[in-house]
């Protein structure tokens, strides 16, 4: 009893002193004494010493039991798997059958070392032996499978355990399963584990986990789940941001819920978030299939207006963007002209999108008119506006105005984007205008590098672009303060 008391307090030194006193007093140790010594070694991770105690125990003619071997296993370090197999072989030689706790030690050790296949092999031995896994065994294997990126396997193991045991898995295990399913974009598992964690167990996943669930919802069109996550974030006092809602918009578009996606844009703005064209990109992909889908989207905007709903300007812009993508400039301008019908006032993005359409159509006159209407509306041109006016001018035979807009950008202390300089250089080289040298110098003065393709284009007099390369994103325009 004295030894057991000291073991409970993890006082290994005191245990050894008691055993030493027993030896001095001629008290013969029994199996309980040896098992206590082995337990003390297990607490300190002393495998070599434990083996010595075990051999002394056998030499004294004392037959080991299951607990003896359990303590021997527990003295091993996490990576000493060969020694673990040795102990199991010794156990077999002594004709001692493993019980649930034996399997718990072994399986948990394999799971801890990410040896999932071995853990599953030993788990499979429990049933034929008439044994059931302990909750610790089940937790170890399920958690290991989840962390190693096998969410479906982990979920199947969890279902199997709870269907055959009166014990329930801890909530943290289900949270791990939710994280694993959502990180792997496993739709069915994400829905099930979300309901288990949030609805049944009333647990609160962290924001990172919620974001992963939103990404899964976006990928698989689970708009209802996405909205549920949004509500959960609100309940967690997480400040809503655009990146929370963008996946829901995508999920709605996957489910062909265009009307709901358009409404969500206005809901975002009402709740102090600014939806952008990036937010609406899934809407663009959905409605830019053909002119019929564009007209259907416009019809949805009219319906919302008739119902007294507010139509967000991004909803208008994405319809215009879809028309521009189909090179239907007439439909894009018509949508812009009808903005008042749905109660929308065009913004800077509206005009920049229309200017993009003018570039594709080489329609300089319309571009000038749009720029004038933009200024009349009190909207200040930005870097993108000037960039597109330069590119539009370069589509014409007479392109001198491109330099006017370039100089105006510099007057406003804007750094012209790389794409502007590259377009100017290409135009000048292609028509034999030697001012391309000045443009190249300015390009370098702005901190840009001449690409291999542009250099090849210039050196060949516009004959070829040089080696093909991956498409580069245009440099981000900046404003010099």
Q: What is the pLDDT of residues 228-264, one digit of tens each?
A: 999 999 999 999 999 999 999 999 999 999 999 999 9
Q: What is the mean pLDDT of residues 18-44?
A: 72
Q: Band of the pLDDT at 480, cuts 50, 70, 90?
A: very low
Q: Are 189 and 152 in contact (CB under 8 A)?
A: yes
Q: For 115-168, what is each residue's pLDDT tens digit?
A: 999 999 999 999 999 999 999 999 999 999 999 999 999 999 999 999 999 899
Q: Are 342 and 305 in contact (CB under 8 A)?
A: yes
Q: What is the mean pLDDT of the chain?
A: 91
Pairing of strands 478-479, 414-415: antiparallel
Q: For 178-199, what is each residue's pLDDT tens digit?
A: 999 999 999 999 999 999 999 9
**How confident is the model at residue 206, as a pLDDT?**
95
Which of the pair, 403 or 473, is modelled with greater confidence? 403
- Can you spell out the DSSP letters for 22-78? HHHTTPPP-HHHHHHHHHHHHHHT-HHHHHHHHHHHHHTTPPP-HHHHHHHHHTS-T
Q: For 416-456, what is each residue's pLDDT tens digit?
A: 999 999 999 999 999 999 999 999 999 999 999 999 999 99
Q: Are 123 and 156 in contact (CB under 8 A)?
A: no
Q: Band of the pLDDT at 81, cuts 50, 70, 90?
A: confident
For the ranges 25-39, 215-229, 273-287, 312-326, the lowest mean pLDDT is seen at: 25-39
Q: Band of the pLDDT at 219, cuts 50, 70, 90?
A: very high
**How confident is the model at residue 51, as a pLDDT?**
85
**How confident is the model at residue 3, as a pLDDT?**
56
Which of the pair, 32 or 271, is modelled with greater confidence? 271
- Domains of the chain by residue range: 1-97, 417-462
Q: Residue 234: enclosing H or E segment and its boundaries? A: helix 223-235
**How confident is the model at residue 468, as a pLDDT?**
56
**How confident is the model at residue 11, as a pLDDT?**
56
**How confident is the model at residue 57, as a pLDDT?**
86
Separation of first and last alpha carbons in the chain: 80
- Among 67-76, 314-323, 461-470, 471-480, name the most confident range: 314-323
């Amino acid at each position: 009893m004295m030894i057991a008391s000291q073991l409970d307090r993890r006082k290994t030194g005191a245990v050894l002193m008691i055993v030493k006193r027993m030896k001095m007093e001629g008290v013969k140790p029994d199996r309980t004494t040896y098992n206590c010594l082995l337990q003390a070694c297990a607490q300190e991770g002393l495998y070599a010493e434990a083996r010595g105690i075990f051999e002394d125990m056998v030499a004294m003619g004392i037959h080991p039991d299951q607990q003896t071997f359990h303590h021997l296993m527990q003295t091993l370090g996490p990576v000493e798997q060969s020694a673990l197999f040795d102990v199991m072989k010794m156990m077999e030689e002594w004709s001692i059958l493993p019980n649930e706790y034996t399997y718990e030690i072994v399986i948990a050790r394999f799971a801890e070392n990410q040896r999932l296949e071995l853990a599953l092999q030993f788990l499979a031995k429990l049933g034929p032996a008439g044994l059931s896994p302990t909750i610790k065994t089940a937790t170890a294997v399920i958690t290991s499978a989840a962390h190693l990126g096998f969410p479906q396997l982990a979920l199947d193991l969890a279902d199997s355990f709870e269907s055959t045991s009166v014990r329930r898995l801890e909530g943290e295990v289900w949270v791990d399963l939710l994280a694993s399913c959502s990180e792997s974009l496993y739709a069915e598992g994400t829905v099930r584990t979300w309901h288990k964690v949030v609805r049944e167990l009333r647990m609160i996943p962290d924001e990172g986990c919620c974001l992963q669930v939103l990404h899964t919802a976006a990928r698989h069109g689970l708009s209802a789940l996405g909205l549920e996550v949004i509500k959960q974030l609100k309940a967690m006092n997480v400040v809503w941001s655009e990146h929370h809602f963008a996946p829901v918009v995508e999920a709605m578009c996957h489910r062909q819920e265009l009307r709901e996606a358009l409404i969500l844009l206005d809901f975002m703005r009402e709740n102090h978030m600014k939806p952008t064209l990036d937010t609406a990109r899934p809407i663009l992909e959905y409605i830019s299939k053909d002119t019929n889908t564009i007209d259907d989207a416009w019809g949805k905007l009219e319906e919302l207006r008739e119902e007294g709903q507010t139509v967000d300007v991004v909803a208008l812009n994405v319809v215009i963007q879809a028309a521009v993508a189909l090179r239907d400039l007439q439909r894009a301008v018509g949508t812009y002209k009808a903005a008042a019908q749905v109660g929308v006032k065009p913004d800077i993005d509206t005009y920049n999108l229309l200017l993009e359409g003018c570039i594709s159509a080489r329609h300089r006159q319309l571009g000038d008119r749009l720029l004038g209407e933009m200024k009349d509306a009190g909207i200040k041109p930005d870097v993108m506006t000037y960039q597109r006016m330069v590119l539009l001018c370069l589509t014409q035979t007479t392109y001198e105005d491109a330099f006017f807009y370039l100089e105006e950008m510099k007057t406003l202390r804007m750094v012209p984007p790389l794409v502007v300089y590259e377009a100017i250089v290409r135009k000048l080289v292609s028509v034999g205008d030697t001012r391309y040298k000045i443009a190249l110098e300015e390009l370098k003065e702005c901190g840009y590098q001449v690409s291999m393709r542009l250099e090849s284009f210039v050196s060949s007099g516009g004959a070829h672009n040089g080696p093909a390369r991956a498409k580069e994103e245009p440099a981000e325009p900046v404003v010099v303060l």
